[in-house]
Structure 1
Amino acid sequence: MATLGGAARLLIRFTREDLARTRISGRPDALWDLVLSLHRLQRRRPSGTRGPLAPAEVLRWRTNTLACLSGRALGRRVRDHLLPLAPISSYFPDFLTPHTGLHGLEPGLETVLSTPRAQIGRELDELTTRSGAPTWGSDLATGDPHALHLLGGTLRDYFATALAPSWPAIQARTTTEHTRLTGILATHGVGAMLANLLPTTIWHPGDRVLETPYPMNFTIELQGRGLTLIPSWFCSGMPVALVDPALPPVLVYPLNHDPPPATDHHALAKLVGPTRAAVLLAITIATPTRVIHRRTGISASQLSRHAAVLRDNDLITEARHAGQTFYTRTPLGNALIGGR
């Protein structure tokens, strides 16, 4: 199979079962984005130096966050207790990013703080080998209640200060990416979806291997467990994966920070009518009728009538479950409103 040449690379080996079990997260992962945001805070180079320049909106976030943390007790706690656990290197502990982070910050924190002490000790030993020992790591490994309380509180307070103000925009960007990938999956199949994660991603269909640049040579054997794809607003350059092969496999990859194409809502209204344009714009993925009512202000009978026209013209799809109706915009509907 053709490869990326001499550069270090990540290889993910799929079976047929893994392809069927590949999942795309429709929401951001609170703890993955939290940890990767700590990496963004530590990148001091402004521009013109080696490596890709951070997107403008990430640079603005970094400037604002550093200003919010400067001179505050939280800033010192982040510096002394979080940054040493998540250095910019080829490794940080897996226990900081459990799979429950996809369900929100609090479920993720609950899992972090209930991590077996043996696992914490093992991963902190690996961190010490690669980047040096964090000053308070031994207290975490022994399950010291004060250390665990300090970790949980600092993670929670940092999220509230640094990530929560941007979280609605991050969620919206993740939804857009989910729409993009599900559209490729529905139209061209899972191989095309994997090949289009990033411009540098290579999908080898004959070998069922996904290849991407990586800080070091690393191979993941999925062995029927499937793969969860997690778009991240803070991920920089290369994708990230868990080190421990026993954990549920994930691939965290950077969202596209290019501004979306401008949408002329008036032009869309002229084409399909103002009410249908409003309905089409209100629908994303599995949008329930109550949300469309709230966004558009139209009645149930109006929605039913206009949704039928949009559905019959392949602009949306309709599904029913447990007495509720859900609508999803099709790739053609996305193209019509100017989305990717």
Structure 2
Amino acid sequence: MAFHFRFGPADLLRCRFSISPRWETQEAVRTLMRPHRHAYHLPWLRQIRVAAEGLDLRPLWLLMPRAGHNPDFLSPPPVGPSVTFEEELARVRAASSADPHAVREDLRRALVCSPGAAESEAGRRMLADPARAVRELSDLLEQAWTALIAPHWPRLRALLEADILFHSRRLAAGGLEALFDGLHPDLAWSGDTLTIRKPGHHDRSLDGQGLLLMPSAFVWPEVVGGYDPPWQPTLVYPARGIGALWTAPAGPAPQVLARLLGRGRAEVLCALAEPASTTALARRLGLAPATVSAHLKALHGAGLLLSSRHGHHILYERTPLGIALATGAPPPP
């Protein structure tokens, strides 16, 4: 059993990356009920413990079977490279008015994947009134976003943007084969087909839509693919660097480097172990965005940083010389 995405010539030109705050919210909710996902997120779990205790997440958990269908209307793929949670939630809320019969079938398919879920009081209530179910589930997703993800979104977004930058360069350097080879060990590319080795069956020709690729901080250790028409074919994979996601900031910049560059610029350079935006660095370092922006401009002008645009954000990363200065490693010959 496996999932297969079958590419045509047009699909090879229409693969794109995106970030979904709604997806991260959903997977954070799922992580709370999956202990095997906790390893990388223990600091986050400690921080959100009190807030999570104030949420009744059981209706969402009822639609998250261990194996099988998850409601597509609850997680529509993002339509652009950088969307807000509010924009995504509006699409979820609109599902019941667009096609209430499809929503009911989507709910039913998910509920039957968990023994007894469809016959439970909550399950029967959802199936009896799908429109009300959409409203209540949307409200619960919004509460989960506010309590679990929104306070940490700058850090999470910086991680996801850095992942996209890394894999975009792999795609540019080696094509789809090189890209998929480095995304996840359960992925295999052969001929014109991408296969996900996992339980279940899904076989879809992309038919010119291409494939949407979404990094996620919370999906580890799994890779997720699917969506039935008319949804965009999508692949969600674990983002690089989640092992250090919740670690404390690095210590102060070395004195020698601070004397050379100035304390503020040295701290910014040392904080760029992964590509990051001005806002993310400002939050990480506890500095004003304008101050960080001035330091970034100076470091960029000195040849210590590169910049690249992703959606509405500009990400900065160290050049080989910047890496050598920040880490003490000799620059490449």
Bin for the TM-score computed over the shorter chain? 0.7 to 0.9
Q: CA deviation at 1:196?
A: 0.8
1:258 CA displacement: 2.4
- CA offsets, 1:146-191, max 9 Å, x none? 5443222222112211222332221121122112112222333332
**2:144 equivalent in structure 1:** 158
**In the alignment, which residue of structure 2 is the partner of 1:316?**
306
Q: Which deviates the most, 136-145 or 266-275?
A: 266-275
How does 1:288-307 map onto structure 2 within 5 Å?
Answer: 294-296=290-292, 298=294, 303=297, 307=300
Matching residue within 154, 158, 177 for 1:191? 177
Q: Is the 8 A contact 2:307 2:317 kept in 1?
A: yes
Per-residue CA deviations over 1:311-331 (Å, capped at 9, x if unaligned) read: xx8x52578xxxx99675487
Amino acid at match of 1:59: L
The DSSP-based 3-state class of the residue aligned with 2:160 is helix
Shift of 1:269: 4.2
- After superposition, give the CA deviation of every residue in 1:5-43 in whole Å (9 maximum; x if it has no partner): xxx432222223212211122x3x122222222322222
Amino acid paired to 1:128: L
Quote the residue 1:113 is aligned against. Answer: 93
Residue correspondences, number: 303
In structure 1, list runs of 5 or more residues that go unmatched: 1-7, 45-52
Q: Match of 2:330?
A: none
**Which residue identity is paired with 1:125?**
R
CA RMSD of aligned residues (A): 4.0
- Do the aligned partners of residues 297 and 146 (structure 1) sit closer, same or farther apart at CA in structure 2, a change above 3 Å counting? closer
Q: What are the within-5 Å matches in structure 2 for residues 64-213 of structure 1?
A: 64-70=47-53, 72=54, 74-75=55-56, 78-79=57-58, 81-100=59-78, 103-115=83-95, 116-131=99-114, 132-133=117-118, 135-137=121-123, 140=126, 146-204=132-190, 207-213=191-197
Q: 1:187 to 1:55 in 2, by over 3 A?
A: farther
Q: 1:243: which partner in 2?
A: 227
Equivalent residues in 2 for 1:263-282, closer than 5 Å: 265-266=253-254, 269=257, 273=261
**SS of the residue 2:44 aligns to:** helix
* TM-score (normalised: structure 1): 0.72
Alpha-carbon distance, 1:221 to partner? 1.8
Percent identical residues: 23
Kindly tell me: are residues 226 and 325 of structure 1, through their superposed partners in 2, closer, same or farther at Cα, counting changes over 3 Å?
closer
C-alpha contact (below 8 Å) 1:220/1:245 kept by paired residues: no
Q: Does 1:9 align with 2:5?
A: no
Unaligned runs of 5+ in 2: 283-287, 328-333
1:140 Cα deviation from its structure 2 partner: 4.8
Matched AA of 1:87: P
